[in-house]
Amino acid sequence: MKIALLGGTGDLGKGLALRLAKLGYEVLVGSRSDEKGKKLASEYSQIAGVEIKGFDNATASELCDIAILTIPWEYAFDTAAQLKEKLKGKIVVSPLVPMKKEKGYFDYVRLPEGSAAEKVASILESKVVSTFHSVPAERFADLNQKVDWDLPMCGDDKEAKETIAEIARKMGFRPLDAGPLKVSSLLESLTPLIINIAVKNKMHDLTIKFI
Ligand SMILES: NC(=O)c1ccc[n+]([C@@H]2O[C@H](COP(=O)([O-])OP(=O)(O)OC[C@H]3O[C@@H](n4cnc5c(N)ncnc54)[C@H](OP(=O)(O)O)[C@@H]3O)[C@@H](O)[C@H]2O)c1
């Protein structure tokens, strides 16, 4: 199965690329620049010990079965719109967290569409699954770190959600179905909450477990 990480050259993309490639998935690192995509893919290959390929985002979208939008939320919607045709009918994962820094804390940014994932779904003709919001990128990219963390996910396409849940399960997560895409704002808004708790309580790289 070919998984494209659009904007996979950044913080969250790194951990996903390393872990998915080690599990045997064909990872396509996408970038605005084909050269940067190939450079980072080569660096990731060295770390993972398996081949990871790099492309521009359009080529990665064309070649993939599943795409994960690992792009800052402010820019992800324009990128999605540009790739609409290439992503048609495919599973697209939104880990997007719309948030902004206020004085001394982060707040969730409420979009008119309800959430970032719903906005992505309104742009694309793809099966959108919303998840990975609560994954701390740096800790996740450390392959010595066991990721036995809970991973809430939501989406309207049951099969697509189960496909992503199975991939997440193989990485070590406990995927948890949180409902339809309509509840995505609840998942997305966990991230500013987690960051605020970490900052205020001098904790690092927090994630979640429901016990
Ligand atoms: N970091 C985390 O811990 C974390 C955790 C959970 C969810 N998330 C979510 O995951 C997404 C990615 O986060 P991140 O921290 O990995 O982001 P990031 O490192 O800041 O950026 C990822 C990539 O986005 C691309 N990019 C930057 N500006 C762009 C633009 N104007 N247009 C198109 N692409 C652009 C860049 O790739 P190229 O220069 O190669 O094109 C960059 O390497 C975000 O939506 C975030 O909310 C992050």
**Separation of CA 74 and ligand 1 centre (Å):** 9
**Separation of CA 170 and ligand 1 centre (Å):** 24
Name the CATH topology of 2-200. Rossmann fold (3.40.50)
Indicate which atom in ligand 1 lies nearest the CA of residue 140.
Answer: 3
Lining ligand 1 with CB less than 6 A are 7, 9-13, 31-32, 36, 70-73, 75-76, 79, 95-97, 132-133, 135-137
Indicate which atom in ligand 1 lies nearest the CA of residue 71.
Answer: 24
For ligand 1, atom 29, the nearest C-alpha belongs to: 75
In whole angstroms, how far apart are CA 8 and each of 68, 111, 177? 8, 24, 25
**Separation of CA 76 and ligand 1 centre (Å):** 8
- Overall residue count recorded for the chain in this entry: 211
User: Looking at beta carbons, which pairs linking 103-106 to residues 24 or more positions away fall under 8 Å?
Assistant: 105/192, 105/196, 105/199, 106/192, 106/195, 106/196
* Tens digit of pLDDT at every position of the chain (211 positions): 999 999 999 999 999 999 999 999 999 999 999 999 999 999 999 999 999 999 999 999 999 999 999 999 999 999 999 999 999 999 999 999 999 999 999 999 999 999 999 999 999 999 999 999 999 999 999 999 999 999 999 999 999 999 999 999 999 999 999 999 999 999 999 999 999 999 999 999 999 999 9
For ligand 1, atom 18, the nearest C-alpha belongs to: 10
User: Do 69 and 80 meet the contact criterion of CB atoms below 8 Å apart?
Assistant: yes
User: Do 140 and 147 meet the contact criterion of CB atoms below 8 Å apart?
Assistant: yes
